[in-house]
Amino acid sequence: MGRYTTGLASALARRDDVALVVACDPVDVELLTGDLNAEVFSATSAPFSLTGMWELGRIARRARADVTHCPHFPTPFPALHPLVVTLHDLSPLIVPGLMPSAAKRTLYRAWNRRAVRCADRIVAVSASTAHDLARIFPPAATKTSVVLEAADDFAGGDLGELPEWLQGRRYILSMGNMRPHKDLPTLLRAFEALSDDGVLLVLVGNDVPGYAASVIGGAADRVRFTGPVDDPMLRRLYQDAAVFAFPSFYEGFGLPPLEAMSLGTPVVCADAASLPEVVGDAALLFPARNVDALTAALARVLSDDAFRRHLSAAGRARAATMTWERTAKETVAVYERAIVEAHE
């Protein structure tokens, strides 16, 4: 959500046809607004609360905006019009076990149902998400526009320095997220099956002691978790990786593969949900949850220098077409449509 909100807000602020007003937590004012040419209202209540919904409505009315855009499903109460809402995914309603609490799922469904009902227009970050919305909340079908995300702001930042334990080592990079849909076990098993025992698997995030060993055997000693990393370090990890692997079988969009491609890293990812939309023909896709197919894909990229260079160039070219400037342009078109329809 942070990547989306900051990327879109920065691009909107650079346009000469938009006067941007931002409502955000005081802690996030500098992070979100930075050098933006934008009026800022400080919101003191959490958006996931009735108080937060009231406050958002109060701020929007005070700003007298032509259109209000909520970058996630919390929306003002009472509802404002014209209202645009971005819905990123419905993973807790689609992925078994992701949100085990029935009460939380019910509340999550209610939040999203209200967003769909109140919004004049909905922005879905992929056609896959738009399809899910129309299936689970049918009224969304007639008011949803697909606007893809971007990563050009990420690629241009500073680079950190690799930790000593990784310098000079060849490695596969992935995310260490252990949520069910991220399907880390498939990646671990594919890594174990690789014949190249000189390569490391580096996972961005915190280790759960014993997790890798519980999934695979002796190869677990070549799996490394980075712990928390900042953006400069993440860029360096992407850039120096032999390949970036993304086995997730459900994503509303999937920024990590696009971030990796923007830095020229060859990408191997599952052919599931939104991911083919994001990577196009610039990554090597494999059937989701298929260990043998992922093993073969990783082995091909690791062993074929020419193919790796091809993926690197194709990835950069693909990422270059997906900019926040384009996202902002298409989002402004949604605003304009919402305004026209609200006054018809």
Residue 32's pLDDT is what? Answer: 60
What stretch of H or E contains 303? helix 291-303
pLDDT in tens, 163-214: 999 999 999 999 999 999 999 999 999 999 998 889 999 999 999 899 999 9
Q: Mean pLDDT, to the nearest integer, of 266-285?
A: 98
User: Mean per-residue pLDDT for 59-75?
Assistant: 92
Categorize the per-residue pLDDT at 30 as very low, low, confident or very high, splitting at 50, 70 and 90.
low
Q: Is the pLDDT of residue 36 over 80?
A: no
Task: Find the helix or strand (DSSP H, E) in which 310 lies.
Answer: helix 305-320
Cβ burial of 40 (10 Å; 0-12, 13-18, 19+) is middle
Asked if pLDDT for residue 29 goes beyond 90, the answer is no
Q: Using one digit for the tens of pLDDT, what is the confidence trace for 116-174?
A: 999 999 999 999 999 999 999 999 999 999 999 999 999 888 999 999 999 999 999 99
pLDDT recorded at residue 31? 61
pLDDT score of 34:
61
Q: Is pLDDT larger for residue 172 or for residue 344?
A: 172
Q: Report residue 37's pLDDT band, with 50, 70 and 90 as the boundaries.
A: confident
Provide the total of helices (H) and of strands (E) in the chain, helices listed first.
Answer: 15, 12
Domain 154-320: top CATH class: alpha beta
> Domain-by-domain residue ranges, the chain?
2-150+324-342, 154-320
The answer to whether the beta carbons of residues 274 and 126 sit under 8 Å apart is yes
What gap in Å lies between CA 308 and CA 300, rounded to an integer?
9
Mean pLDDT (whole number) for 317-328: 97
Question: Would you give the end-to-end CA distance of the chain in angstroms?
Answer: 32
Give the side-chain half-sphere CA count within 13 A for 272.
Answer: 17
- Residue range 2-150+324-342, CATH number: 3.40.50.2000
Q: What is the mean pLDDT of residues 240-254?
A: 97
pLDDT of residue 236: 97
Interatomic CA distance for residues 9 and 15, integer angstroms: 10
Q: Are 229 and 256 in contact (CB under 8 A)?
A: no
Non-local CB neighbours of 29 within 8 Å, separated by 6+ positions: 40, 42
Q: Is the pLDDT of residue 33 over 60?
A: no
Q: Look up residue 225 and give its two tokens.
A: 């978790």
Average pLDDT over residues 279-287: 98
- Predicted confidence band at 244 (pLDDT cuts at 50, 70, 90)? very high
Tell me what percent of the residues of the chain surpass a pLDDT of 70. Answer: 97
Q: What is the pLDDT of residue 196?
A: 83
pLDDT category at 252 given cuts 50, 70, 90 is: very high
pLDDT given for residue 296 in this prediction: 98
User: Residue 232: pLDDT above 70?
Assistant: yes
Averaged pLDDT score across all residues of the chain: 94
Scan for tokens 């919390």, then name that residue: 74
In angstroms, rounded to a whole number, what is the distance separating the alpha carbons of residues 187 and 194? 11
Neighbour-count burial of 288, counting CB atoms closer than 10 A to its CB (0-12 exposed, 13-18 middle, 19+ buried): buried
Say which residue, 19 or 33, is predicted with more confidence.
19
Contacts of 302 by beta carbon, 8 Å cutoff, 6+ apart: 170, 172, 194, 196, 199, 242, 243, 308
Closest CA to 268 of 288, 239, 240: 288
Please state the rounded mean pLDDT for residues 21-40: 73
- State the pTM of this model: 0.94
